[in-house]
Amino acid sequence: MVETLWAPWRMDYILGRDPRPDGCVFCLPEDHLGPLPKRLVLYSDKEVLLIMNRYPYNNAHLMVAPRRHVATLAQASSSERLAMMDLAAKATEILDQAQKPDGYNLGINQGQVAGAGITDHLHLHITPRYNGDTNFMTVIGETRVIPEHIVATYEKLLKFFA
């Protein structure tokens, strides 16, 4: 039986129309606070921001980053580190309500050899996990299935961060 996998948001990437900003994906205009839909930012304040991962491992894969452009935990101030963890805790509470995952992977990949795709701006991944989300598709087919369009997930989550 042939299965069809839909990932319509990938077409912009394939055709070179990826809406990524010039420069760092985590850096926002200094005077901007709050959400920024075209960048998939759900929340931002003076110290931190919460953004959806445009290339998620799972539905509602989020990232928390300091507003300041720093590469490591050691370079972040203690208030930035605390704000990141507080926002991560709040985000998991919201995801519990909105997505009802069975668990989470939270982690920071610091440095390119650790798997950091963006090495020069510290960020913490929040990946919701669901029973059965790692199945034969991932293991044998080396393919992930994301069942909900990223914009639909963004719109669903945004109301919780208002």
Q: Rounded to a whole number, what is the distance in angstroms from the first to the last CA of the chain?
A: 43
Q: How far is CA 102 from the centre of its chain?
A: 18
Which residues, at least 6 apart from 149, have a Cβ–Cβ distance to it below 8 Å? 8, 9
Which residues, at least 6 apart from 29, have a Cβ–Cβ distance to it below 8 Å? none
Distance separating alpha carbons of residues 59 and 101, to the nearest angstrom: 10
Determine whether 123 is an active site residue: yes
Active-site option among 121, 123, 125, 149: 123
Residues labelled catalytic: 123
